[in-house]
Structure 1
Amino acid sequence: MDDKPHGSRDSSNQSNGENVGLQQRSTIRALIQDFSPIWVTWSMNLGILSTLMHTLPYQFSGLRTIAAVLYVADLVVFILCCTFMSLRFIVHGQTAWNEITNDVNELCFMACFPISFMTLTGGTALIVSTSTWGGYAFTVVSYVMWWIVVVWCMVFGVGIYVILTLKNLTESRNLTLAIILPAVATSTAAVEGGIVSVYGNGITARMAVPAIIVGFMLVGIGFFLGMTILALFLNRILANSWFDGVKRPTLMMLLGPTCQSTAALLILSMAASMHFPEYNKGTFLHETTATALHGACVLLALMVLGLGIFWGLWGVYGILDAVVKGEAKWTPAWYSSLFPTGTLNTALTLFAEEFDSPAFRVLSAGLLILLTINGIVNAATPFVPLPSDKY
């Protein structure tokens, strides 16, 4: 017979329940306090995969359904990330602000939030407005979203560089590629403005032309600012050799400014050809200028793409060098490899349409397969048990 009083047993059970509750609350609090902006790259990755699958030159039954599912997943992940980041600032206030603004990587990855919102903007125009249940209303929604995110990425871009200047967080010998993200954000805004202008269901010239003009201005910011930062980063590598192997996957961010600018030039020139003839005002916004602009943008896009391929090959070598030397390990840094490579895929897809080229179609399809594998592996790796020496 158990001599332990029932009251003691009940007290013990209550104590255990309280301990479990405290542990659960501690886990949630830790998740909120330690939430990093790098996790929002998952939203970016889902968004660009959704767009690429929807626009892939080689379509098969169900692919656009998969693209729509990824769009919804992108929306869910984005909302979750915004919720956790907001809770981090609400609960921890000044501490959270200091932690982010004193860490150059955390600070620069904040630019991923407007980039993620942009993938939803383009997806709303490309997938939702053209669906049987969508329509022009969602074109208007995507158009409004685009103007919001243009302001958002400009405020974040200027703000991030101002904070970097005031706090003196970077040095040439330890320059991180994350500082290129605000520039990538502006180029991405240009691409999404072109997508809304070209694919938005029922969009008018009066709506599209202002977006096209602002889009070209954003290309100027993203491309030239990105080239300045890439020059600084090249100087850092030449002077100090490669950085830590576990961070090498971030080298794929080298593709961002060039390939997004390539895609932006192509999609904005397509939009100009569609809408300038109807708009037909002033000495520039008419059909003749649109034809010349289109040709010039395609030529410039080819040159910028060549530069992007150079940076991409250089980055791939850096990653392979780390793999061969056994320095490459899985970290969340691998999440940052998908979206920049996806910008190259976007450019290839647009060139396939522009040139009606089987070669570009095959390249874009092959790269999309690799990106999909990348996404699946990165999604599975954190949950696959590995020997401790693999971390």
Structure 2
Amino acid sequence: MSQADGKANGHLDAEKQNQPQKRSAIRALIQDFSPIWFVYCMNAGIISILLHQLPYRFDGLGVLSTIAFMVDFVLFIVFSIIFLTRFALYRKQAYTEITDNIQDLSFLAAWPIAWLTLSSLVALIVSTAGWGGHAFTVVAYVMWWFGAGWMLLTYFFIFITMVRKAKASGEGGGRLPPLILMPAMGIATVATTGGLIASYSYAISARLAVPIIIFSFLMVGIAVFTATFLYTLLLYHLFTEGWPVPAITPAMFVTAGPFGQSAAAIQLLSSAANTYRRFAGYNRGPFISANAAQPLYVVCVFIALLLAGMSSVYALLALYAMVERAFQKQLSWTMSWNSIIFPIGTLTTACNAFAIAMDSPAWRTVNTALVLILVILFLVNTAFMALKIVKGELLIVREDPRSQKQE
């Protein structure tokens, strides 16, 4: 064989080695499974809640809400099995890849958030069904307390991991990504779902409801102050470095989540205390009493207006960023588009509570319009995800990029 042939074969061997390894579909699914997929469960859950609580009713609305609930439930089980299997088979690799990636680390909060939406839907849909009853109120109650503890542990794990690994720097030269607010939004979700369970669960007693209400107010404090501190850093990076990179620009909507969810939470919690008379039924001390419940409700609606106002500002900033990227022809669909629905859903939940507090047709109209937009966006995201999965560009990617990195 000539020297030229030897060189040619050497080049071919080198190219072959540099090509990503092919994997089986099952291995690709498990090895690359990211916690970002639980965002899809979150989105189905919030849409189910919004449809169930929609002020303008029509035939079939309950069925649509139940369908969204079942999507949330089934996908949560499937995704949880895949995610746990990833850790069972690739322990060190899975842990390292998630904790070294600030986006995946932040998305760990999506798992308990999805669980919390399920707990509230068990209360809203299952416990109030003809075949449900108080037994499922207890199920929702236990699920919620488990989810609250899970979310708190996740909150501390994410931030402690960032400190230990000094991972407070994301993409773009050390800037903080908007997804850093996911844990704060998750803590606020503990409170919102607690308010739903304390208000709407079938035959829930004051003895069960009041501990949820008190604990949930504590969670609102954690969420609001955590978000406030992080907002300062995020705004600093916006002023000094501009918008995030196009691929994660839609994730800016996460900035609307903590305050929007907190605005919804304090209204639901104070409504449970006052309108549903949980404080009157408990009646212990000057705070947990019927006399304290009504002024508490009024104050909470006022504070919720302040929080919802700031949440709307962040949502409008995120919308402008996406429009600007679109005009610059830099906007394309990525998985970060799924980050839009839940944060805006939290603000929509707050709007529904405002409509009840003020008996306002305007708030009811805004709430209904936002729900319609979110449902359309959910379907659009589903279509894009299905297309990319069929093309082998998402969820099951047979080529393993790790093999190329190891060369």
For the criterion TM > 0.5, the same-fold answer is yes
1:316 equivalent in structure 2: 319
Partner residue, 2:153: 155
- SS of the equivalent of 1:242 reads coil
CA RMSD across the alignment: 1.7
- The separation in 1 between residues aligned to 2:116 and 2:215, in whole angstroms, is 15
1:278 to 281, 285, 297: 281
How far 1:158 sits from its partner (Å)?
0.5
Larger helix share, 1 or 2: 1
Q: Any conservation in 1 of the 2:177–2:244 contact (CA below 8 Å)?
A: no
Q: Deviations over 1:255-292 (max 9, x none)?
A: 10110000001000001112111111112111111111
Instruction: Report if aligned partners of 1:173, 1:236 keep a CA contact under 8 Å in 2.
Output: no
Q: Quote how far apart the aligned CAs of 1:169 are.
A: 1.1
DSSP 3-state at the match of 1:174: coil
* CA deviation vs aligned residue, 1:40-73 (integer Å, no higher than 9, x gap): 1110010000000000000100011110111111
Whether 1:258 and 2:268 are equivalent positions in the alignment is no
Q: Which has the higher contact order (CA 8 A, sep 6+)?
A: 2
| Number of the residue aligned with 1:188 | 189
Q: Deviation of residue 383 (structure 1)?
A: 3.6
CA contact (8 A) 2:50 2:371 kept: yes
Aligned residues of 1:100 and 1:107 also touching (Cα < 8 A): yes
The unaligned stretches of length 5 or more in structure 1 are 1-22
The residue that corresponds to 1:20 in the other structure is none
Instruction: Pick one of 362, 366, 370 that aligns with 2:369.
Output: 366
Q: CA deviation at 1:25?
A: 7.2
Amino acid aligned to 1:214:
F
| Structure 1 CA distance for aligned equivalents of residues 223 and 352 of structure 2 | 21
Partner of 2:249: 248
Partner of residue 5, structure 1: none
Q: Residues of 2 paired with 1:106 and 1:173: CA distance?
A: 16
TM-score normalised by L of structure 1 = 0.91
Name structure 2 gaps, 5 residues minimum.
1-20, 395-407
Q: Is 1:144 aligned to residue 142 of structure 2?
A: yes
CA contact under 8 A between 1:219 and 1:261: conserved in structure 2? yes
Distance (Å, rounded) in 2 between the aligned partners of 1:46 and 1:382 = 14
Cα drift, residue 24 of structure 1:
11
**Structure-2 separation of matches of 1:206 and 1:198:** 13
Other structure's SS at 1:56 match? coil
Distance 1:73 1:384 in 2: 19
Contact kept, 8 Å, 2:47 with 2:375, in 1: the verdict is yes
The one-letter amino acid paired with 2:261 is Q
Query: Match for 1:303: what amino acid?
Result: L
The one-letter code of the counterpart of 1:257 is: P
Which residue in the other structure is 2:346 paired with?
A: 343
Match of residue 298 from structure 2: 295
Give the drift of 1:141: 0.4
1:30-179 matches, cutoff 5 A = 30-171=28-169, 173-179=174-180
Distance 1:97 1:113 in 2: 15
Equivalents in 2 of 1:352, 1:282: separation in Å? 31
Cα distance, 1:26 vs structure 2:
1.2
The alpha carbon displacement at 1:173 in A equals 4.0
Task: Please name the residue that 2:234 is paired with.
Answer: 233
1:223 positional shift: 1.0
Structure 1 consecutive aligned stretches of length 4 or more whose deviation exceeds 6 Å = none
Over the matched positions of the two proteins, sequence identity in percent amounts to 39
> What is the CA-CA distance between 1:384 and the residue it aligns to?
4.1
